[in-house]
Structure 1
Amino acid sequence: MTKKKLPNRDAIAKRIVGKEQNKFNKASNREVIQKFHEDRILFSFWHLDYRSEEAFNLGSPKVDVPWFLLFIDHLKEISKLTRKQLETTGRHYKFHPIPVEEKGYKFNVPVDILDEAHESAFQFGLGKSKGRVYGFMVDNEFYLVWIDREHNLYPDDNYGGYKAYPPVMSYTDLVEEENRALKAKNDTLLQENKELFQMLEDALDGQSNPSA
């Protein structure tokens, strides 16, 4: 029977060092990735508002699947940029400050950050005639507030001016509306059923008391 040869101490040490080196490399890679991303634009939907302002309620029929994919693609591409790079893209993303209050609007954000939000309000574009996104910046983080598919913050009479539509309905909204409709229908049927039973009782009473 052949005796199994055990690895010597040098081989064991080399294997251990190799494992530790791999851990170090992975840690270094994580640091590189973190460093790469820490200065890039981050998006927050914490203050996204598509309900309180008619102008930005996403009810436009132009808000369809191709447009939504365009919107996602812009978020993806901008998230690869630093704030400085975004600021120097010039006309490509149409990134610049916006005078929210001067346009007669107010961000629907907590009062304690409202002034700061208005002072640091910015927009970026989604392409020619594809709309604008408004929000405010804190360092490299862009807090989305409004999505203006119809350019209602800067309406242009040459393109139809200000456009208002019924607000977009979420899946929850649709379910709640359906429930309300079903409840109303059920209430109507219950009332009709009650009236029919009353008519039946009256008819039976008339048969049992013909002289009445």
Structure 2
Amino acid sequence: MSRGKIKAGKIPSSGDRIVIRKPKNARTALSFSFQYIDSAHAKFGFEKQSAVYFCKVIERLQGMSSLTLLEFTTNRNAALKSHCIDWVRTSEPDGFAHLNEQFQSYTPYQFAVSRNEHGRVHGFFIGDVFHIVWLDPDHQLYPAS
């Protein structure tokens, strides 16, 4: 059995910056960021949640990482329960007030962690990255009427 050599391709660069080029017509999947998570919020703090809860959140993020932004924003799957947040109809009418004005101007979204348990995840998109702001295991953003 002969062993071939594998050569690494050159990374395109511009000066001293690395430039990442995506192939045309690439299907870009979602990714997730915790950069703006608000763990100190009175309603959406998560320090008392169980390991089972966090396992469910990670499983959901893993499953959703195969979706594109278009699939996420147009999918009306009952299990995903993804939709824009209308702040006026929530318990937080000022929205993500702790974020700067630019981030507050982005359309907020939510999705379910699981079909009927474990609450929702709230955040916003910048490109194909969903920035998680609040974990809402007890459905406190949209309390039962």
Q: Shorter-chain-normalised TM-score: which range? A: 0.7 to 0.9
Instruction: Tell me: CA distance 1:110–1:101, structure 2 relative to 1, closer, same or farther (3 Å).
Output: farther
Q: Which has the higher strand share?
A: 2
- Secondary structure in 1 aligned to 2:43? helix
Alignment of 1:73-84 (within 5 A): 73-84=59-70
**Equivalents in 2 of 1:149, 1:102: separation in Å?**
18
Which stretches of structure 1, 4 residues or more, deviate above 3 A after TM superposition? 34-38
- In the alignment of these two chains, the number of paired residues is 125
- 2:95 aligns to what? 106
Residue of 14, 17, 37 corresponding to 1:48: 37
Contact 2:111/2:120 (8 A) holds in 1:
yes
Structure 2: give runs of 5+ residues left out of the alignment: 10-21
Shift of 1:66: 0.9
Q: 2: CA distance between counterparts of 1:41 and 1:89?
A: 17
The DSSP-based 3-state class of the residue aligned with 1:72 is helix
Q: Once the 2 structures are TM-superposed, how far is the Cα of residue 139 of structure 1 from its aligned partner?
A: 2.4
Give the counterpart letter for 2:62 in structure 1: K
2:111 is the alignment partner of 1:121: no
Bigger Rg, structure 1 or 2: 1
How far apart, in 2, do the equivalents of 1:72 and 1:43 lie? Answer: 11
Structure 2 counterparts to residues 26-175 of structure 1, below 5 A: 27=9, 39-51=28-40, 53-59=41-47, 61=48, 63-87=49-73, 88=75, 90-103=77-90, 104-107=93-96, 108-114=98-104, 116-117=105-106, 120-127=107-114, 128-156=116-144
- Percent of matched pairs sharing the same residue: 27
Structural RMSD (CA) = 2.6
User: Is the contact made by 2:89 and 2:142 (CA closer than 8 Å) also made in structure 1?
Assistant: no
Q: Where do 5+ consecutive residues of structure 1 fail to align?
A: 1-17, 28-33, 158-212
